Chain A
Amino acid sequence: MLVNVPGPWSPLLGRLALSEIPYTNPILAPLFIVIVLAGIALIAGVTYYGKWGYLWKEWFTTVDHKKLGIMYIILGLIMLFRGFIDGLMMRTQQALGDGPGDNGMKLMGAIHGYLAPFHFGQIYSAHGLIMILLAATPLLVGLMNIIVPLQIGARDMAYPYLNALGLWITTAAVFLIMISLFVGDFSHNGWFGYAPIFEMAYSPGVGVDYWIWTLELVALGTTLGSINFLATVVKMRAPGMTWGRLPVFTWTAVSANIIALTSFPCLQVALALVGADRYLGTHFFTAGFGGNLMLYTNLFWLWGHPEVYFVILPAFGMLSEVIPAFSEKPIFGYITMVLASFAIAGVSWIVWLHHFFTMGMGPYVSTEFSIATMLVGIPTGVKVFNWAFTLYRGRLTFSAAMLWSIGALFLLLIGGLTGMMLAIPAINYMVHNSVFVVAHFHMMLLCIVYAVFSAIIFWFPKIYGFKLNEVWGKIMFWLFSAGTFLVFFPMFMLGFMGETRRLDWPFNPQWGAWFDVQEIGIFVYVLSVLAFLWMLYVSIRDRHANRVHTADAWGTSRSLEWLTDTPVPFYNFAMVPHINALDEVAWRREHGFMDKKPDHFKAIHMPNNTPIALYIGALTFLVGFGLTWRVWWLTLASLILAVILMIYRSNKGDPGYIIPAEKMEEMDRESKARMLSDDSHQVPHGGGFSGGTVTAYAALDRDASGPLTPPSDSRHL
């Protein structure tokens, strides 16, 4: 029943052998040594400072949505860096390998450039998979994790333990793809995989298996997360937080997670069928025995297109929070913003075929999908106009976060217009599989990256209590934008000139100049990475000078997360606030209720930490690793152990713990004292309740706040 693998196999080690470790590779071997040394240094450092207990107690076993979100973001940033290095290697390969003849060096067996085709194939496959599923997705899930419960006035996610499980399973996927660098190799047939190249007969190595199980794990983690987000928003909203008062970011999180929940199973099924082909010898995606190659492409993009909206929608939500805050106006067209999010989510289900217009299913089918694809432009256009009208006559502050948001709008425009071009089948037939398509979707994904950096800068003070350095944030923005322009403008040109995707050897010497421009661009990107690291260093160094003393870090923020203390205490809100309006914080600022303190406290119920999520995550990694190398005992043992742990935890449950009211009062006092709340009532008045004039930096008039009284039902549970 099991497929016979080529090459040696032993019951104990499966396909593992010393020859699978690329210790002779002049790139990977030094990298491995550097990583081992860095790892030893890290472990030694943590041991020296005696931080293991702290890490275990505060981070590894935590179920706090903010800490899990921070870990998601760290994971996403690390993988963004890894994917960037892959991009750097690809750019360098094409710059070096362009033109006829060989490189004369035969470096690592490469005739052109410095990478052999097999190695280059792994790099672009890993780049795509990492950037979409292990960089963009964790970054967005992390930000949603932190912000969504705060925006709806919840103490945590609906299922805190499930949240931790999602993080650790995603981390297992990251470990699996990272270990493929040093043990064995990775898939070389693109991030989405081509049938039938990924079948055993054509890809006998372990690369495709790594690819299958990495994708399966990240799909599992994300699906668990999406269930959690939906349950949280449906069930955990603060009193008064009606659907009509949800902040736009939360709405986009809802729409994005609906499509994640409904689409990720398609991916899991498609990959399970690939797994059945490779492990059990079935023929779902081969041409023989009734299989169909195109069925794989169909199933994959059935997930793949909703997935790209899953990553763009939260990014739209972030723009919808940042732009009003720095325009000192409410978002223009709240209702249409929400409807547009759901329209995009709905349309995402009927457009997937535009990823393979050239399959040959004829004009009628193509026309339907072409029109459906163009329909996406309508709700997206509504959003862009809403942002533009929010900016219009606003009191604009060009802070670093705002610059990143505006940059995202420009990229959205370029990406959207080229997307409209690609939606036309006639054009698609011309530029299909060219780097024009690659440049198009990089515009869209970079739009997400811009929104994420904007959001990180915007929400950082809420979580850590100090602002990131504005100057370096702006320097990074301009370097990043210059890099984007220099890399992707030539890529559009090369696409028009007929360069196909994934060329390890761009044969045409006339493309050389464009590759050189791209190479310069990628080094400008390197500078922007350095600027980012320097921004973090400077910000942490000067954290006392940049400390935020108010709940509302920017003075013009609008939604509920800015009401609680800065930095956010682990219980989020000492007393769950009563929501009175859309843009609650703006409403309270308008009415002078920002510094109203609760007159009494109640006991609260919090979840306990648990290491079981971490254990199950580690076990899923072993399952993936065992399946990849066909070490059956390891796979079975880890799987059974994971199931036993799940059953154990389900039976044990978590009663949580109660913090009594007196303790809450004391903690709230301490938290307020840490904010140095002397400044906290220096909040500007008239802060832009819908349609009103906006004065964020007006001269303070302390007496004006005196006679106002809060509504009697404010701050009731």
Chain B
Amino acid sequence: MSHGHSDPIHHPEVQMATNRNYITGFVVSSLLMLAATILVKDHVLPSFGLLLAIIGCAGIAIIAQVYFLLHIDISEHNIWNTVALVMFIPLFIITIGLTWWMFSQLYMRTMPMMPGMPGMH
């Protein structure tokens, strides 16, 4: 164990942390959340468009939080964070994708849509 770089203040992640970044991250994700809430509350789009819009908001919010709040970028000193992030992407696709596939098949068999029924899709 060497002591040269043991002072946490000198870690690159800490160096990246500034008040401005935190506030930007907070504001951006709050705005996106607000936008998604308004979209859903007022049903401003048709249902599929709504779905895409919320997913888009969530995606941008994730990226903003990862960058501004967790201080993860793809530079050299963050190599292990990048590895973890890259590993997380297929996991994300698998879990969400398989869940979506499974439920779409389930609804096809168990939840026939009746005309005039307030449905889930």
Chain A positions within 8 Å of B, measured between CB atoms, are 155, 234, 236, 258, 262, 266, 290, 292, 294-295, 298, 302, 349-350, 353, 359-362, 364-365, 368, 604-605, 653
Contacts and interface: CB of A to CB of B under 8 A. Distances in A.
B110 interface: yes
A262 B108 CA distance: 31
B106 A349 contact: no
Query: Taking each of B8, B98, B105, B108, which has the highest tally of chain A beta carbons within 10 Å of its own beta carbon?
Result: B98
11 contacts: A236-B1, A290-B120, A294-B103, A294-B106, A298-B103, A349-B95, A350-B98, A359-B102, A360-B109, A361-B106, A604-B1
B1 A298 contact: no
B6 to A, nearest CB: 8
Contacts of B6: 605
Interface string B79-115: 0100000011001001100110111011011100000
Contact of B101 (A236, A365, A653): A365
Contacts of B43: none
A666 to B, nearest CB: 20
Contacts of B103: 292, 294-295, 298, 361
A302 B99 CA distance: 9
* List of 7 A-B pairs having minimum Cβ-Cβ separation, nearest first: A361-B106, A361-B105, A362-B105, A361-B102, A365-B102, A365-B105, A605-B1
Query: Taking each of B80, B88, B91, which has the highest tally of chain A beta carbons within 10 Å of its own beta carbon?
Result: B91
B102 A234 contact: no
Nearest to B104: A361
Contacts of A292: 103, 120
B42 to A, nearest CB: 17
Given A234-B80, A653-B8, A262 B91 contact: yes
B4 to A, nearest CB: 12
A359 B106 contact: yes
Query: Taking each of A290, A298, A604, which has the highest tally of chain B beta carbons within 10 Å of its own beta carbon?
Result: A298
B10 interface: no
A258 B95 CA distance: 16
Contact of B91 (A295, A349, A364): A349
Contact of A362 (B8, B98, B108, B120): B108
Contacts of B20: none
Contacts of B120: 290, 292
Contact of A302 (B3, B80, B95): B95
The dominant DSSP class at the B interface is: helix
A349 B1 contact: no
Interface of B: 1, 3, 6, 8, 80, 87-88, 91, 94-95, 98-99, 101-103, 105-106, 108-110, 120
Contact of A605 (B3, B94, B108): B3
A364 to B, nearest CB: 7
Given A290-B120, A302-B99, A361 B8 contact: no
Contacts of A236: 1
Given A236-B1, A266-B95, A353-B102, 4 more contacts: A155-B1, A294-B103, A298-B99, A361-B102
The dominant DSSP class at the A interface is: helix
Contacts of A266: 95
A360 B112 CA distance: 14
A236 B98 CA distance: 37
Nearest to B98: A350
B80 A353 contact: no
Contacts of A298: 99, 102-103
B1 A360 contact: no
A353 B102 CA distance: 9
Nearest to B3: A605
A266 B88 CA distance: 13
A302 B105 CA distance: 18
Contacts of A350: 94, 98
B70 to A, nearest CB: 14
A147 B45 CA distance: 57
A603 B106 CA distance: 64
A364 B94 contact: no
A604 B2 CA distance: 9
Contacts of B108: 362
B1 to A, nearest CB: 6
Nearest to B9: A653
A236 B101 CA distance: 42
B105 A364 contact: yes
A258 B86 CA distance: 13
B109 A361 contact: yes
A503 to B, nearest CB: 28
Nearest to A291: B120
B110 A360 contact: yes
Contacts of B99: 298, 302
Contacts of B98: 350, 353, 368
A653 B8 CA distance: 9
Nearest to A364: B105
B1 A262 contact: no
A266 B94 CA distance: 14
A653 B99 CA distance: 43
Nearest to A658: B3
A262 B88 contact: yes
Contacts of A234: 80
Nearest to B90: A349
Given A294-B103, A298-B99, A302-B99, A362 B91 contact: no
A360 B94 contact: no
